[in-house]
Amino acid sequence: MSQLQYNSHSLVEIAPCEWKTLLELYEGKKTESNGYYLIKNHINWLANGDKSDIKCYSLDGDWQNDGTFLMIKHLSVHKEVSFNTLSSNLDRLTSALLCLTSKAEDIYLFAAYGERILPAVEVCSKQLPNLRQQTTQTAWYSASKELVATFSAEPPAGIELRSLDIEDAPTVNEIWPHRADGSVEFVKLLIVHNVSVGAYDEQGKLIAWCLRLPIGSLGLLQVLESHKRLGLGSLMVRYLSKKISEMGDEVLAPVVTENTPSRKMFEKLGFQKIDNVYWTW
């Protein structure tokens, strides 16, 4: 990746065999959006035979001291970039991001970065004012293990809850508000590698679902219009939260800031907002 350079800096790949060491650096960052669970998930994906193009990079090969990294997934029409640093100084992370954006013909999605990281992205925006950008802000919620232990997750009569099948991916993708060209392949990856839940009616039709994102959080929560206002959204959240907590992991969720009904549902369940998290095209 020598062509991705900025001034005297360049991105150097962190070999997959070193990702476990990077993971250990983020042991204390389990509630950050692009921290421990992002790295852990992709280690597990590779171990499970994932063949998608996911690579991890550092600035100039130096990451052991401050944990500064970029993880890039090459999707069908864009590259999804996740990033973080353990340093309070964002200069090195900023330089790493500018290595990416030096290729203006590429389409990037800067995914799931927290409020603390926002200044680094803003510097990139100022230095590359010709690039068109669009940012979505989400409220980043957390539920304690004690709270999740109180959740009931019994389905109503006539509804079966089980993990999604890969054949469900087109249905999930079809009404996902953030779908894009090729995003159905992303949905398939989540179904294959992460825990999920679907609600199926007596005819076996999928009517509600929730998946786990690469960052470890709940995501893609949807209920068919014909079955809304029946409490299925809350049921999906409670069920998958219990599954994730049983794995020993933190239960986290991003909700678009303007989505007041969804935010009220999470807050009614007892989730606490702990950050703002952003996605920038």
48-69 pLDDT per residue, tens = 888 778 999 999 999 999 999 9
Which residues share a beta bridge with 209?
198, 222
Q: What's the one-letter identity of residue 170?
A: P
User: Out of 3.40.50.970, 3.40.630.30, 3.40.50.2300, 3.40.190.10, which CATH number does the structure's domain 143-276 have?
Assistant: 3.40.630.30
**Where do the structural domains in the chain lie, given as residue ranges?**
5-133, 143-276
Confidence of residue 4 (pLDDT cuts 50, 70, 90): low
* Pair type for strands 108-114 and 79-84: parallel
pLDDT at 105: 63
The CATH number of the domain covering residues in 5-133: 3.40.630.30
Same fold? 5-133, 143-276: yes
CB 13 within 8 A of CB 70: no
- pLDDT at residue 104 tops 60: no
Least confident of 40-44, 76-80, 152-156: 76-80
pTM score, two decimals? 0.92
What's the order of all strands across the beta sheet hosting 218-223?
Answer: 160-162, 196-200, 206-212, 218-223
pLDDT tens across 210-228, in order?
A: 999 999 999 999 999 989 8
pLDDT tens across 244-273, in order?
A: 999 999 999 999 999 999 999 999 999 999
Percent of the chain having pLDDT more than 70? 93
Percent of the chain having pLDDT more than 90? 75
Our measurement of the distance from residue 202's CA atom to the centroid of its chain's CA atoms, rounded to an integer in Å, reads 32
